[in-house]
Amino acid sequence: MVNPVLIAPSILSADFARLGEEARAMTEAGADWLHLDIMDGHFVPNITFGPTVVKALRPWSTLPFDTHLMIGPADPYIPAFAEAGADRISFHPEAGPHPHRTVQLIRSLGKAPGVVLSPGTPIAMVEELLGDVDLVLVMTVNPGFGGQSFIESQLDKIARLRALIDKSGRDVRLEIDGGVTSETAPRVIAAGADTLVAGTAAFRGGPGAYAGNIAAIRGKR
- The response to whether 171 counts as a known ligand-binding position is no
Catalytic residue among 32, 37, 134, 194: 37
Closest CA to 137 of 149, 153, 125, 152: 125
Q: Give 150-188 as a DSSP string.
A: P-TTHHHHHHHHHHHHHHHT---EEEEESS--TTTHHHH
- The response to whether 147 counts as a known ligand-binding position is yes
Q: How far apart are CA 125 and CA 114, in angstroms?
A: 12
Q: Is 177 a catalytic residue?
A: yes
Q: How far apart are CA 6 and CA 9, in angstroms?
A: 10
- The response to whether 37 counts as a known ligand-binding position is yes
Catalytic residue among 32, 40, 134, 177: 177
- The response to whether 50 counts as a known ligand-binding position is no
Closest CA to 30 of 209, 183, 172: 209
- The response to whether 100 counts as a known ligand-binding position is no
- The response to whether 146 counts as a known ligand-binding position is yes
- The response to whether 10 counts as a known ligand-binding position is yes
Q: Is 134 a catalytic residue?
A: no
Three-state secondary-structure class, residue 191: helix
- The response to whether 145 counts as a known ligand-binding position is yes
- Please work out, in degrees rounded to the nearest 5, the angle formed at the alpha carbon of residue 18 by the alpha carbons of 15 and 21: 105
DSSP single-letter state for residue 168:
H
Residues 192/177, Cβ–Cβ less than 8 Å: no
- Annotated binding residues, written as ranges, equal 10, 35, 37, 68, 144-147, 177-179, 199-200
As annotated, the binding site for substrate includes: 10, 68, 144-147, 177-179, 199-200
Which positions make up the binding site for a divalent metal cation? 35, 37, 68, 177
Catalytic residues: 37, 177
